[in-house]
């Protein structure tokens, strides 16, 4: 009997050992699971703290009236985090910050974020397509050996024929494939360009069609804008027949220079002839639509509405507004500042007839609008935010100079806008320039080794011969269409640096 009792005891003990081990294992597993859960919860707390820090940094950036160079701070109310925001770039449309954030859990967990945060001012900005590079609703053809810093895009493809063409900080793209569109072009010569076309002729980068508007309607808008500057009615002087102005006495008889308000003069049935050496200021002249206004003197704050306008004698024109029903002629040596010239046509004299520097016609931040084709075939210089807009074709020949003093983003630049084609010919005397070319037809470059800082946009093809470089830049010109920029604060990108 005792033997049976001992056997039963041993059996019970043997059965209890695995049960004990099982209980011990389960207890250890529960402890480990609890520790894992606590660590996970602590990581979540650190993650939430980092997000709170980013939100707080964005709130501080939003609240600042003037963008500070640097912001830093920490969270409160039981949230353990810190942030630092450094201003990287600012312009009229917004401020860009690099933000670093650290969040901490209660038991040592950490999470670190890096983010780019944009504070947009909601100010209008030039439509981005104008600072993209070469953009065509048709196709882009490039020959020679230019450097293109920016994008080359044709909705119907591109043909890069020069072995030395370089594309930097951009790509060559299209909005078509040969499979869907047999007319789609994808051709790229040279080792550095082959990446843009696959072996079967399919563009490597197929993107949505370019958002490019035909400039015709916009030119009408410009016409309406500057047409409001025409001389008004309610004339102070009505003169019949030819009006001659050659001396201070002539000015005094007309009441010119006797007050702050402009003197409005209506000339009926005659021309106006202003001799040299007389300063004419704050006057408005209205002539019959078949009569001519001629001047050899400096003009300031003068408005003229006539059939023809002829400027000779190398004067200085400042803040003038010319409206010609037929033609404007501007002789060599004339300098035109902050003015508006609107004409059915511009005469050949606008280019100047002298091959030397003294024969130049120079436009500084001046708007030239032509109701038809406009060809510049001599020494004409454009500076600053000047504009040339044509309801026909634009063609520049010979020694045309487009120039500004600096070319970073935001520089004032020239706007060449045409309902038809824009053609730029001739290498002699051409310099680097900042500007935008916007064409309802083709844009054709046939010049040498200058650099365009800005962009080219065309409804038709862009054909770029020669070695003209294209550096995509944002330029400022009030005569280009704008879009509203972002208003508020947003995260452009974010990266987890520590604490997955």
Please give the residue that has the higher pLDDT: either 130 or 349: 130
Query: Is a pLDDT exceeding 90 seen at residue 442?
Result: yes
Query: Is a pLDDT exceeding 50 seen at residue 411?
Result: yes
Query: pLDDT of 132-144, one tens digit each?
Result: 999 999 999 998 8
Least confident of 105-119, 146-160, 415-429, 460-474: 415-429
What's the pTM value of the predicted model, to 2 decimals?
0.75
- In this structure, are residues 185 and 139 in contact, taking their beta carbons and an 8 Å threshold? yes
How much is the pLDDT for 461?
97
Distance CA 382, CA 363 (A): 5
How much is the pLDDT for 34?
60
User: How is the chain split into domains, by residue range?
Assistant: 2-123+487-498, 216-484
How many angstroms separate the Cα of 157 from the Cα of each of 94, 197, 208? 34, 10, 12
Query: Is a pLDDT exceeding 90 seen at residue 306?
Result: yes
Q: Average pLDDT, stretch 201-210?
A: 92
∠ Cα 138 408 376 (to 5°):
55
Please give the residue that has the higher pLDDT: either 458 or 92: 458
How much is the pLDDT for 52?
92
Least confident of 114-128, 256-270, 380-394: 114-128
- In this structure, are residues 263 and 281 in contact, taking their beta carbons and an 8 Å threshold? no
How much is the pLDDT for 20?
61
Query: Is a pLDDT exceeding 90 seen at residue 9?
Result: no
Containing 374, the helix (H) or strand (E) segment is: strand 374-376
Distance CA 396, CA 375 (A): 6
Structure tokens given for 136: 């065509």
How much is the pLDDT for 354?
33
How much is the pLDDT for 15?
66
Q: Which of 14-23, 24-33, 37-46, 472-481: highest mean pLDDT? A: 472-481
Q: Average pLDDT, stretch 474-495?
A: 84
Which residue reads 């309406």 in tokens?
224
Least confident of 26-30, 196-200, 386-390: 26-30
Q: Average pLDDT, stretch 108-128?
A: 84
Structure tokens given for 38: 């606590």
Containing 302, the helix (H) or strand (E) segment is: strand 299-311
Structure tokens given for 478: 């009030």
Distance CA 458, CA 441 (A): 6
Distance CA 85, CA 100 (A): 6
Please give the residue that has the higher pLDDT: either 500 or 285: 285
How much is the pLDDT for 359?
46
Q: Average pLDDT, stretch 422-448?
A: 79
Query: pLDDT of 337-392, one tens digit each?
Result: 999 999 887 764 444 333 333 347 889 999 999 998 888 776 778 888 899 999 99
Please give the residue that has the higher pLDDT: either 243 or 2: 243
Query: Is a pLDDT exceeding 50 seen at residue 272?
Result: yes
Res. 220 pLDDT band, cuts 50 70 90: very high
Q: What is the DSSP letter of 342?
A: E
Query: Is a pLDDT exceeding 70 seen at residue 88?
Result: yes
Res. 106 pLDDT band, cuts 50 70 90: confident
Query: Is a pLDDT exceeding 80 seen at residue 32?
Result: no
Res. 194 pLDDT band, cuts 50 70 90: confident
Mean of pLDDT over the chain: 84
- Write b or e for each residue in 426-437: b if 16 or more Cβ atoms lie within 10 A of its Cβ, otherwise e: eeeebebbbbbb
How much is the pLDDT for 309?
93
Query: Is a pLDDT exceeding 80 seen at residue 334?
Result: yes
- Write b or e for each residue in 444-471: b if 16 or more Cβ atoms lie within 10 A of its Cβ, otherwise e: bbebeebbbbbbbbbbbbbbbbbbbbbb
């Amino acid at each position: 009997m005792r033997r049976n009792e001992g056997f039963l005891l041993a059996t019970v003990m043997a059965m209890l050992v695995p049960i004990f081990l099982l209980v011990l294992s389960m207890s250890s597993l529960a402890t480990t699971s609890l520790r894992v859960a606590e660590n996970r919860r602590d990581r979540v707390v650190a993650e939430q703290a980092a997000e709170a820090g980013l939100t707080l940094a964005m709130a501080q950036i939003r609240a600042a009236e003037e963008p500070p160079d640097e912001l830093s701070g920490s969270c409160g109310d039981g949230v353990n985090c810190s942030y630092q925001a450094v201003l990287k770039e600012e312009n009229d449309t917004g401020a860009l910050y690099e933000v670093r954030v650290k969040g901490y859990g209660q038991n040592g967990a950490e999470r670190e974020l890096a983010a780019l945060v944009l504070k947009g001012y909601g100010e209008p900005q030039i439509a981005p397509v104008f600072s993209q590079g070469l953009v065509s609703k048709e196709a882009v053809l490039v020959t020679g050996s230019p450097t293109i810093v920016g994008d080359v895009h044709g909705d119907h493809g591109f043909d890069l024929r020069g072995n030395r063409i370089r594309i930097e900080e951009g790509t060559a793209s299209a909005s078509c494939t040969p499979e869907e569109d047999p007319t789609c072009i994808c051709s790229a010569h040279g080792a550095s360009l082959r990446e843009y076309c696959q072996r079967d002729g399919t563009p490597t980068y197929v993107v949505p069609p370019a958002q490019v508007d035909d400039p015709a309607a916009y030119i009408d808008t410009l016409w309406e804008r500057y047409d409001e500057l025409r001389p008004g009615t309610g004339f102070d002087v009505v003169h019949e027949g030819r009006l001659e102005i050659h001396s201070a006495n002539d000015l005094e008889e007309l009441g010119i220079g006797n007050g702050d308000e402009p003197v409005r003069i209506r000339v009926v049935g005659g021309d106006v002839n202003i001799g040299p050496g007389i300063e004419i200021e704050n006057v408005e002249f209205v002539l019959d639509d078949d009569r001519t206004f001629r001047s050899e003197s400096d003009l300031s704050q003068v408005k003229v509405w006539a059939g023809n306008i002829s400027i000779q004698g190398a004067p200085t024109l400042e803040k003038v507004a010319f409206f010609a029903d037929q033609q404007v002629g501007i002789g060599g040596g004339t300098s035109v500042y902050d003015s508006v010239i609107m004409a059915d046509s511009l005469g050949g004299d606008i280019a100047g007839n002298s091959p030397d520097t003294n024969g130049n016609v120079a436009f500084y931040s001046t708007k030239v609008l032509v109701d038809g084709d406009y060809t510049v075939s001599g020494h004409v210089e454009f500076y600053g935010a000047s504009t040339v807009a044509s309801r026909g074709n634009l063609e520049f020949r010979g020694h045309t100079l487009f120039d500004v003093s600096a070319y970073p983003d935001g520089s004032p630049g020239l706007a060449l806008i045409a309902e038809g084609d824009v053609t730029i010919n001739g290498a002699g005397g051409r310099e680097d320039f900042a500007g935008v070319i916007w064409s309802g037809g083709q844009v054709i470059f046939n010049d040498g080794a200058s650099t365009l800082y800005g962009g080219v946009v065309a409804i038709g093809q862009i054909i770029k011969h020669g070695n003209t470089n294209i550096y995509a830049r944002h330029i400022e010109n009030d005569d280009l269409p704008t879009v509203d920029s972002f208003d508020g604060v947003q995260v452009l990108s974010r990266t987890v640096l520590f604490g997955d």
